[in-house]
Homo-oligomer: A and B are copies of this chain.
Amino acid sequence: MEKSLVPMLLLLVAVSYSLAKDTTTKSDRKDTKETKETHPKLPQTLSRGWGDQLIWTQTYEEALYKARTSHKPIMIIHHLDECPHSQALKKVFAEHKEIQKLAAKFILLNLVHETIDKHLSPDGQYVPRILFVDPSLTVRADITGRYSNRLYAYEPTDISLLFSNMQKAMNFLKTEL
Contact = CB atoms under 8 A, between A and B. Distances in A.
Interface in A44-68: 44-47, 52-62, 65-66
A133 interface: no
A43 B38 contact: no
B61 A114 contact: yes
Contacts of A60: 59
Question: Which of A34, A52, A61 is most buried by chain B, counting CB atoms within 10 A of its CB?
Answer: A61
Number of copies: 2
A44 B55 contact: yes
A113 B44 contact: no
Contact of A42 (B44, B53, B111, B116): B53
Interface residues of A, number: 30
Question: Which of A42, A54, A69, A115 is most buried by chain B, counting CB atoms within 10 A of its CB?
Answer: A42
A159 to B, nearest CB: 22
A163 to B, nearest CB: 23
A55 B69 contact: no
A129 to B, nearest CB: 16
Interface of A: 34, 37-38, 40, 42-47, 52-62, 65-66, 69, 111-116
